[in-house]
Amino acid sequence: MKILSRIVIVFVFLFFLHVPVFAQDVSPVDRKIEELKSKISELQTQENSLSKQISLLNSNIELTTLRVDTIKLAIDKLTKEIDELAGEIEKLEVLLTKRSELMLHRIPETYKSQRMPTLGVLLFSNNVSDFISRMKYMNRVQEVNAQLLVQLKLTQNNFGERKATREKKKTQQETLKKQQEDEQKKLERQKKEKQMLLSETKNSESRYQSLLAQALAEKNAIDRARIEGMKVGPVKKGDIIALVGNTGYPGCSTGAHLHFEVQKSGSWVNAEEYLQGREVYDDQNGGRSRIGSGSWDWPLDGDVRVTQRFGKTPYSWRYAYSGGIHTGIDMVSTTEVIRAPQDGSLYSSSQSCGGSSIIKIKYIDHGNGVASFYLHVQ
């Protein structure tokens, strides 16, 4: 029987040794998130088509929605824990007050009794039995005081620990709220991107491919302008260099606006990091906001309206060549005058863009590999 028991124990041990424990730890939500990530990665390797783009947007929307819901659950859990801690802290505060008041009351009495020497107790005692009782009482008072002191210290420690834990959870809660806010904005952008895709393509594959080709044609026109541009001469910050136009229409422009772009060493960079902070109307996010963190002047004066910012935008599906990044800032203003935002050498170029359309481009070489581009000018 002993041998049989040992065999069974070894068998059970080996069985559990080969069970993939991690599979039991993965929640359905985490599993779904991983499935969506895998699907998105697979879609990104497929040939670009309208159906693929719609599927990609749907998967990203579902993934972001799951993240928003997961963060919300975590925030709700923390809120409950913080409320429970607040109740515990309140009770501990009452208990701490009571125990502190009790100790403050007992300290003078204990001090008086300790001031009386043993001989004094003996003198005030009626007999030996009374003396023993008085001594036991004094010892018991000291024991009780010691216990109360320990309880007071424990209460103080618990009170401090609960407060520290609550503050830690509040910090975690604020971090999660910021994450939730960011994910919610991302979700709104993704939904808007899908809406714009369906609206502009009208569910037509040929229309979709045409819009992709137009965006790529604009990018190619900028590349050629950098090589073929004719030097106009030096310009100073604030000099007039062009007027806002709609050149490139209909192949590479949908209306009069300025596409302002900055490149460093031939790579796209966020132009907002070069421009001074300025309050403008932000179409992309709705309402007025402050854009810019650099030292350059804005190329347009007046009341500027930014129709599309750098990075991920509602039109990101168009920019397959850059991984969905809009490489510049699209803007309009109450004035058509375009001014140099910084000193440099001005160049001018005209390029074909989208068939028979001609797009006019100005760019300024600012030195150190930095150049700014101005598209669709008159």
Q: Give pTM, 2 decimals.
A: 0.70
Contact (Cβ atoms closer than 8 angstroms) between residue 246 and residue 376? yes
Q: Which fold has domain 61-200?
A: Helix Hairpins (1.10.287)
Helix pair 205-228, 50-115: axis angle to 10 deg: 80
Residue 46's pLDDT is 87
Cα separations (Å) of 117 from 122, 124, 143, 184?
9, 11, 18, 75
Rounded CA separation 86/89 (Å): 5
Rounded CA separation 107/77 (Å): 44
Local structure of 252: helix, strand or coil: coil
Residue 208's pLDDT is 93
Q: What is the DSSP string of 139-195?
A: HHHHHHHHHHHHHHHHHHHHHHHHHHHHHHHHHHHHHHHHHHHHHHHHHHHHHHHHH
Domain with CATH 1.10.287 in the chain: 61-200
Rounded CA separation 254/337 (Å): 20
Residue 177's pLDDT is 93
Q: Which of 193, 234, 207 is nearest to 364 (CA)?
A: 234
Based on DSSP, count helices (H) and strands (E) in the chain, helices before strands.
7, 12
Contact (Cβ atoms closer than 8 angstroms) between residue 298 and residue 274? no
Angle CA 345–346–351, to nearest 5: 140
Instruction: Print pLDDT tens along the chain (378 aa).
Output: 444 455 444 444 444 444 444 444 667 888 888 888 888 888 888 888 999 999 999 999 999 999 999 999 999 998 898 888 777 777 767 666 766 666 666 555 554 455 445 545 455 555 656 556 655 665 666 666 666 666 657 766 676 777 788 888 889 999 999 999 999 999 998 999 999 999 999 989 999 998 999 999 999 999 999 999 999 999 999 999 999 999 999 888 888 999 999 999 999 999 999 999 999 999 988 899 999 999 999 999 999 999 999 999 999 899 988 989 999 999 999 999 999 999 999 999 999 997 778 999 999 999 999 999 999 999
Identify the H or E element spanning 205: helix 205-228
